[in-house]
Amino acid sequence: MSKIVALLPAFNEEVAVGSIILRTKQYVDKVIVIDDGSSDNTSQVAELAGAEVIKHHRNMGKGAALKTGFDLAKDADVIITIDSDAQHNPDEIPLLVAPIIDGKADIVNGSRYIAGADENTPSYRRVGQKILDKATNISSGLDITDTQSGFRAFSAKTLPYFRFKESGFGVESEMLVDAAQAGLEIVEVEIGVRYDVDGSTKNPVSHGVKVLIKIIRDIELKKPLYYFTVPGLIIVLIGAALTIFFIREYVLGISINMGPTIIAVMLTLLGTFMMFTGIILDSMGRMLSQYR
């Protein structure tokens, strides 16, 4: 028998958290709610519903809440993370737990998009989701269809590998990057999601931009070829094309403006510098990894 613990990070979720706890308790041994500085009755409702509650004195972000939760669940064999706003269906917990119990996975990611686009997902969310999925997969080297899912299952062996440096919503991407670096086995299972109960207090656009910036910074350190060399190559091609165009005009005797010509040359030099910077940083990273 495996001990299963569910973690519910919550911020001002007094309306939904009680029912989520009651439904989740049917499939797990313990429910831990991390009240991340709520100003409403989230903690009281969670306790009445039978959850163990730990409360942050101020709002610290989802990443900080999960860090607190994982620290409290170190005695578990399987850890479930599920959002407390009722978007996820607790009845799907067995689907996430099964691959871990069967020894087929270390992490199970609940995905809304295994079968393609979810018709219930608002279009503006899906566009942003695709961008974040692509950036996260580049950073991690994985091929995950729903990198921002908060509905996941983790085996106990995965706990030491997570940094939890990201205190906010970027933690979803960070955990995938950490798991990939550790060589953990990740599988995805299809889940449903409800958007008619979206209680998020975050603006989805600003939230998405912040997460994307965090991912790009991670790529800068872990994937310098993507961060420097690829953009550098594009800049070199643009600069070289403009330079050839201006030289052609000069040879044909057409009067040219020196300003654009100088800019074209500078673009070529800048792109070349970025390309070699990425190559050097990537080589250094590979050398350092051999001595770890």
Q: Residue 51's closest CA among 78, 67, 28? A: 28
Parse the chain into domains and list their residue ranges: 4-222, 224-290
**CATH fold for the domain made of 4-222:** Spore Coat Polysaccharide Biosynthesis Protein SpsA; Chain A (3.90.550)
DSSP class of 280: H
Tell me the sheet residues that pair with 80: 6, 153
Task: Please give the structure tokens belonging to residue 111.
Answer: 């995905």
Tell me the sheet residues that pair with 30: 5
One pLDDT digit (tens) per residue for the chain, 292 residues: 689 999 999 999 999 999 999 999 999 999 999 999 999 999 999 999 999 999 999 999 999 999 999 999 999 999 999 999 999 999 999 999 999 999 999 999 999 998 876 666 666 667 778 888 988 888 888 999 999 999 999 999 999 999 998 888 889 999 999 999 999 999 999 998 877 665 555 555 666 676 666 666 666 667 776 777 788 888 888 888 888 887 777 777 776 667 777 888 888 888 888 887 777 766 766 665 555 5
Cα dihedral 197, 202, 205, 207 sign: negative
Question: Distance (Å, rounded) from C-alpha 43 to C-alpha 54?
Answer: 8
H/E element holding 78? strand 78-81
pTM score, two decimals?
0.74
Please give the single-letter amino acid code of residue 172: E
